[in-house]
Amino acid sequence: MRISGLSVAMVQPKYSLNVGYVARVMSNFGLERLIIIDRKRLGLSSFVFASHGRDILENVDHMSWQQVLGEFDFIIGTTAIATAGRNPLRSTLSPEKLGRLNFEPSKSVLVLGRDDTGLTKQELAHCDVILSVSTGTSYRTLNISHALAIILYALNRTEGVAFRRNGINRKLKDTAMNYVDNLLIKTGFIDSKKLEVNIILKKLFNESYLNENQFSVILGFLRRLDRKLN
């Protein structure tokens, strides 16, 4: 599976050596673009630990969350806390399942959380899908560079599936979710239920195998339903 166009982002990395190790892992798997969210400087030790990934650090992009949301159609979050319960923000995919979804790597970014606290609830809500690596034990927290290596290895090992390279444009998804918000208001959902339904439908859209043409049909249905309720 070709993943070389995939970007990687780190949110406020605390330890420079982890930045270096992430760049090194990216180089191992042929990835080139690293984004640092909300931190302006790289420590010198990040270059020491990057090995052949030094060129990645020399071309790193510093961006805000809003800039990331504006550029990428598909944002892949990561967490060590996964649950099979009712919390939709903690309902996660395995790297193997991600490899079977319909998205274009060059328009996608894999977001690694903070070294110590990971991604916040608000940041997870920004993500289109959320990955978790199962360790088979109760101690699921991995060093972020180790987690990245496992994820990229699993994506490369996904057999019989190729990226279709016709993932759904973010503007279409945002338009669909705006219609969903309007419909939830018009049908009288209370705020707590609106949030839960919104997140679950967003996950349904993002974790489906729909292409853009098929998704446009759903968008047309939501638009017509919204107009009828008006």
Domain edges within the chain: 7-157, 170-229
Q: Does position 10 have pLDDT exceeding 70, yes or no?
A: yes
Which amino acid, residue 63?
A: M
Structure pTM?
Answer: 0.80
* Mean pLDDT for the stretch of residues 183-198: 83
Q: Kindly report, residue by residue over 65-82, the tens digit of the pLDDT.
A: 999 999 999 999 999 877
How confident is residue 190, by pLDDT bands cut at 50, 70 and 90?
confident
User: Could you tell me which CATH number the domain at 7-157 has?
Assistant: 3.40.1280.10
How confident is residue 84, by pLDDT bands cut at 50, 70 and 90?
low
Percent residues over pLDDT 90 in the chain: 40
At residue 86, the pLDDT reads 60
At residue 64, the pLDDT reads 94
At residue 90, the pLDDT reads 65
At residue 39, the pLDDT reads 81
Give the separation between CA 116 and CA 12, rounded to whole angstroms: 10
* Mean pLDDT for the stretch of residues 193-203: 83
Q: Which residue has the tokens 């979050």?
A: 77
Q: Does position 159 have pLDDT exceeding 70, yes or no?
A: no
Q: Kindly report, residue by residue over 97-113, the tens digit of the pLDDT.
A: 888 887 888 899 999 99
Q: Does position 164 have pLDDT exceeding 80, yes or no?
A: no
Contacts of 117-126 spanning 24+ positions with Cβ under 8 A: 118/78, 118/79, 118/80, 118/81, 119/11, 119/77, 119/78, 119/79, 121/89, 123/11, 123/65, 123/77, 124/77, 124/79, 124/89, 125/89, 125/199, 126/65, 126/69, 126/75, 126/77
The pLDDT mean for the chain works out to 86
